[in-house]
Amino acid sequence: MGFLAGGSVAIDLRIIGFAPSIPLKPMERFFPLLWLALALSVVTGILLVIAYPTKALTNPVFYLKLALVVIALWLVHRIGATVLRAPDAGHKAVATRGRMLALASLAAWTAVITAGRLLAYTNR
């Protein structure tokens, strides 16, 4: 999950305006790695739930984290489709809509990480 969130945050920060000398269009090549990281996270997450199901499945924070992950993944998909795959992605400044998606993605990944950390303290 760290690679998925970290890669997404790096792309989000570039869209917002950090490191403007790095071209935006080539960042699309990271998406297959992000989806591979998602697949590995899903497999390991399922194994963790199987190992101790009552710890996760009885904790409402676990469901909050899953919902936040879905939102963050949807935002990553939208950024890829509307910002990075745009015909003029590397030629002009990113539109306000792209910046708003990137800010929402940063907020979503921050919430995912926070919910993940809270899981350790909310188990009964």
11 inside domain? yes
More confident residue, 34 or 124: 34
Q: pLDDT for 20-33, tens place per residue?
A: 888 888 888 889 99
Percentage of the residues of the chain whose pLDDT score is greater than 70: 94
23 inside domain? yes
46 inside domain? yes
Q: Is the pLDDT of residue 5 over 70?
A: yes
24 inside domain? yes
47 inside domain? yes
Residue-by-residue DSSP string for 42-111: HHHHHHHHHHSHHHHHT-HHHHHHHHHHHHHHHHHHHHIIIIITSTTTTTSPPPHHHHHHHHHHHHHHHH
53 inside domain? yes
Q: pTM of this prediction?
A: 0.89
124 inside domain? no
pLDDT, position 11: 93
Q: pLDDT for 49-90, tens place per residue?
A: 999 898 889 999 999 999 999 999 999 999 999 888 776 665
**Domain membership of residue 12 as a residue range:** 2-119
